[in-house]
Chain A
Amino acid sequence: MSEIDTWVARQRERAAHLPGAALPWLTRRRADAIARFADLGWPTSRLEAWRHTSLAFLEQQALAAPDSAAHPAATLAALRAAFDDGGHWLVFVDGQFAPTLSVIGTLPTGVTVSALSEAFNTAPDAVEAAFGTADDSASPYALNLALCGDGAFVRLARGTALEQLLHLVFIGATGAADSHLRNLIVADANSEASIVEHHVGGGATLGTVVTRVQAAQDARITHVKLQQQDAQAIHVAQIEAEQARGSHFASHSLSFGARLARNDIHTRFDGEGCETLFNGLYHVDGRRHVDHHTLIEHAMPLGTSREYYRGLVDGNARGVFAGRIIVAQDAQRTDAVQRCDNLLLSKLAEADARPELEIYADDVKCAHGATVGQIDEDALFYLRARGIDEVHARQLLTYAFAAEVIERIAHDALRKHARTALLARLPGGAMLEELL
């Protein structure tokens, strides 16, 4: 069962065997985190931030290990085939580092890429500084801290750049009913990297992922997340970024799979002149549920943020977007734009949008917009007037609507891979693939 007490007991049982159990600071933080989780319980719809996505049902639900047919090696091979330019591959199966599947190419001097379970031994101080605490986190992320033992640890020394993509592949096979991963990305001044998280396969029934990014002055970090888990997975994930002066952080979140996917994405501008791009796309059908909660905190002046989210909601599914932009009193000359657009593709689909602006400074330019609707009749007519039948015209326009988000991904092979992933989900995808 998944009751709170069961989790507390489970944590007590596992704690001694988790990687890093020998580190006193970690043991302490894990104990604090499970206490916080026990205190808060699963978030219910009574909490404003979880109004549209309650996890209260987990209290009643037994977590069984799912069965997944595909072998992790096969899943990985298929994925790697899409990227012919090599790249670095750090692979995790059922929440644990899989060294035999991982391939790390030659890294520039000053760049560290390793599994967190190893970094506990090799760089405990750096891990401690970047690890975070559960002090203010929502209960699922406190649970993550209490139980996580692995993930990726990436450190970029001053002025280093990772030329090729770093792929973090999280494969769910048959091993575990739950998995808890934590990725730490520490980028020193002027460094640069693009990191891709792939979440594929059966996935644990409950998987929590926390990715923490620290971008020092003028660092440029691009984070892409492709969530393509099987339809029984529950995926609860947080991305936390802190940006120093002049840094650039881009978060691309493509959410295509899982029964329930919740993403909390947050960045804070701690220095002047930061830039951020939040770019997201979700496609849900069946009885699935996807929720993105984003927060951009303009704490310092001269920051620029752009946020574009699009959703395709089909079947009986529900798509939720809640984006908040906070402009603090000192954050003069902020420029923020936020948009969320949704297409409802069926009678029973539901889309909820909450674009929020919270502004305490006066010299700012902020705009947000949200729409929920269907395909534009004029556009449809335009295509039909040119001999394209209605079914195909609709498919084409649906794809075009979603593709706008994908086109913002700068890396060619990655963009192509994302496009293929989207087309595989859309009706008429094969036809469209031919057209493109």
Chain B
Amino acid sequence: MNAPTLTSPPQAPAKRGDAIGAFLEQEYVAGFETRLETDSVPKGLSEDIVRTISARKGEPEWLLEWRLEAYRHWLTMTPPVWAAVQFPPVDFQDIVYYSAPKSKKDGPKSLDEVDPELLRTFEKLGVPLHERARLAGVAVDAVFDSVSVATTFKKELGEHGIVFCSFSEAVKEHPELVRQYLGTVVPPGDNFYAALNSAVFSDGSFVFIPKGVKCPMELSTYFRINARDTGQFERTLIIAEEGASVSYLEGCTAPMRDENQLHAAVVELIALDDAKIKYSTVQNWYPGDKDGKGGIYNFVTKRGDCRGARSHISWTQVETGSAITWKYPSVILRGDDSVGDFHSVALTNNLQQADTGTKMIHMGRNTRSTILSKGISAGRGSNTFRGLVRVTPRAEGARNYTQCDSLLIGDRCAAHTFPTIEVRNPSAHVEHEATTSRIGEDQLFYAMQRGISAEDAVSMIVNGFCREVFKELPMEFAVEAQKLLGVSLEGSVG
């Protein structure tokens, strides 16, 4: 995915006077806005709004009831305050909970019917929606504000019995599957933002891989927030039946705005016996400007359930965007011999704050988990790793290895590590290692002495620092992620 060139001219290098300063000044490139007619609901949240969203989407009665129950529960909850992030309280009545690009009544039947303006937007972002995208070999579900605008390669996937469609479509076409699995990993009352999402979620992706099928291509969702004052509340549900496997990618961007926008998504993964789900995220929501104005609040609940024996769920995330990130992709290792992985690169620059990490709950026998977290703080950014590894009494032979490393760039940034280990079975082996360091003058000197420019040297060192995580990403994403790190770091080395 190539970044568009729609940026303001590059800023003057930072006053540090060296080339590294310039490197860190690069700007957000996906910050343009698309002018489209939209179909939105009024600002604010009430039972009526929940009913309206449900009605606009033509949902069955049970789903409306489910939403309302979540909404009523949400009213009794208060936003979590334990994370190491600071922001003024969010006014939940000042948000538009549903916004969709206006389109023909029945929605586009094929790509030719999709609003060309929309296609151009995704083209600009480097997301291949056209058939020529076949070359890229990735099936894409593109979500624009609250709704899914296009899903590619549906037919080819259908031949394998794979369901890959927008969530709304899944509710219509496969209600029994949705009903069976929705909310079984992240219950509607799980936490404040999950409850909010359950009440107002608008769209998202639905993936079902039937028994024994190995998904022949990468599946991907691209999320774009466009409209002003809207929040995006998508819901993704991925089910891999016995012996199935799938690799799923997720990318996101938003226009540059002075106001903060809320993104509260829920992702549920379910892996039955011998199934494997690999979920990769490159998160590049608008991070706000250099003074911390604007940007997305990314409050996301992601959880995978290794329900079957020998199942495997793997989370890989590259978090470079968002003003505030609050995100803990977790795995419940219920099945015997199941495996959970978490690989993360989180970068905060300027005034970005990230509180992210994972939970590995070992319940089955001989379950294994690996946590690899790389945090990079630059400018005045604050980066927190928060993790929990719990071994329950029944989890005989559980094994966990955790490594979290922090890299500090600049003397105004912060890096925190808050892991928790709770072990209730003596046969378990749990290890946690963490280090914090900065880019050494000697490392830079070494590289520059060999004719490598300061920017390239920093980028090289940062990429080397993140290499173990990048190698977990599918190839196209790894390239994207490396570029993104270069972009996000501009202006912070000195």
**Residues of A at under 8 Å CB distance from B?**
48, 329, 332, 342, 344-374
Q: Tell whether A373 pairs with B406 under 8 Å between CB atoms, given A356-B417, A357-B416.
A: no
Kindly provide the distance from the CB of A426 to the nearest chain B CB, expressed in whole angstroms: 16
- B430 near A373 with CB under 8 A, answer yes
- A372 near B428 with CB under 8 A, answer yes
Closest to B402 in A: A370
Contacts of B413 in A (CB 8 A): 360, 362
Instruction: Label chain A's interface by main secondary structure.
Output: strand
Q: Tell whether A345 pairs with B426 under 8 Å between CB atoms, given A355-B434, A367-B435.
A: yes
- B422 near A352 with CB under 8 A, answer yes
Q: C-beta contact mask, B420-457 vs A, less than 8 Å → 1, else 0? A: 11111111111111111110000000000000000000
Kindly provide the distance from the CB of A74 to the nearest chain B CB, expressed in whole angstroms: 38
Kindly provide the distance from the CB of B288 to the nearest chain A CB, expressed in whole angstroms: 20
A-B contact pairs, 10 of them (CB 8 A): A329-B411, A344-B426, A350-B424, A359-B406, A359-B436, A364-B436, A368-B434, A369-B431, A371-B431, A373-B430
Bound Cα distance from A374 to B396, whole angstroms: 12
Contacts of B417 in A (CB 8 A): 355-358, 368
- A374 near B426 with CB under 8 A, answer yes
Bound Cα distance from A373 to B410, whole angstroms: 38
- B423 near A362 with CB under 8 A, answer no
- B424 near A362 with CB under 8 A, answer no
Contacts of A350 in B (CB 8 A): 422-424
Contact of A347 among B391, B410, B420, B426 (CB under 8 A): B426
Contact of B408 among A347, A355, A359 (CB under 8 A): A359
B412 is an interface residue with CB less than 8 A from chain A: yes
Kindly provide the distance from the CB of A39 to the nearest chain B CB, expressed in whole angstroms: 21
- A352 near B421 with CB under 8 A, answer yes
Q: C-beta contact mask, B274-286 vs A, less than 8 Å → 1, else 0? A: 0000000000000
Contacts of A348 in B (CB 8 A): 393, 424
B215 is an interface residue with CB less than 8 A from chain A: no
B473 is an interface residue with CB less than 8 A from chain A: no
Q: Tell whether A360 pairs with B414 under 8 Å between CB atoms, given A352-B420, A365-B437.
A: yes
Give 4 nearest A-B pairs by CB, closest first. Answer: A344-B426, A362-B408, A372-B423, A366-B436
For B, the interface residue count at a CB cutoff of 8 angstroms equals 35
Kindly provide the distance from the CB of B164 to the nearest chain A CB, expressed in whole angstroms: 41
- A359 near B416 with CB under 8 A, answer yes
Q: C-beta contact mask, B386-419 vs A, less than 8 Å → 1, else 0? A: 0000010100000000000010111111111111
Can you name 18 extra interface pairs (CB under 8 A) apart from A329-B412, A369-B432? A346-B426, A351-B421, A353-B421, A355-B434, A356-B416, A358-B417, A359-B406, A359-B414, A362-B410, A363-B438, A364-B436, A366-B435, A367-B435, A368-B417, A368-B432, A370-B419, A374-B426, A374-B427
- B419 near A364 with CB under 8 A, answer no
Contact of B436 among A332, A352, A354, A357 (CB under 8 A): A357
Contact of A354 among B409, B419, B425, B431 (CB under 8 A): B419
- A364 near B423 with CB under 8 A, answer no
Q: Tell whether A364 pairs with B434 under 8 Å between CB atoms, given A344-B426, A373-B428.
A: no
- A364 near B437 with CB under 8 A, answer yes
Kindly provide the distance from the CB of B430 to the nearest chain A CB, expressed in whole angstroms: 4
Contacts of A362 in B (CB 8 A): 408-411, 413, 438
Kindly provide the distance from the CB of B387 to the nearest chain A CB, expressed in whole angstroms: 10
Contacts of A360 in B (CB 8 A): 413-414
Bound Cα distance from A354 to B279, whole angstroms: 28
Closest to B437 in A: A365
Bound Cα distance from A349 to B393, whole angstroms: 9
- B426 near A364 with CB under 8 A, answer no
B82 is an interface residue with CB less than 8 A from chain A: yes
Bound Cα distance from A359 to B414, whole angstroms: 5
Kindly provide the distance from the CB of A296 to the nearest chain B CB, expressed in whole angstroms: 14
Bound Cα distance from A357 to B431, whole angstroms: 16
- A344 near B423 with CB under 8 A, answer yes
Kindly provide the distance from the CB of A380 to the nearest chain B CB, expressed in whole angstroms: 14
Contact of A358 among B416, B425, B437 (CB under 8 A): B416
Contacts of B424 in A (CB 8 A): 348-350
Contacts of B406 in A (CB 8 A): 357, 359
Contacts of B435 in A (CB 8 A): 366-367
Bound Cα distance from A361 to B410, whole angstroms: 8
Kindly provide the distance from the CB of B103 to the nearest chain A CB, expressed in whole angstroms: 49
Bound Cα distance from A350 to B435, whole angstroms: 26
Kindly provide the distance from the CB of B377 to the nearest chain A CB, expressed in whole angstroms: 8
Bound Cα distance from A342 to B432, whole angstroms: 12
Closest to A324 in B: B418
Closest to A318 in B: B424
Bound Cα distance from A373 to B423, whole angstroms: 9
Contacts of B431 in A (CB 8 A): 369-371, 373
- A374 near B429 with CB under 8 A, answer yes
Contacts of B416 in A (CB 8 A): 356-359
- B434 near A354 with CB under 8 A, answer no
- B423 near A369 with CB under 8 A, answer no
Bound Cα distance from A346 to B412, whole angstroms: 46
Bound Cα distance from A361 to B456, whole angstroms: 24
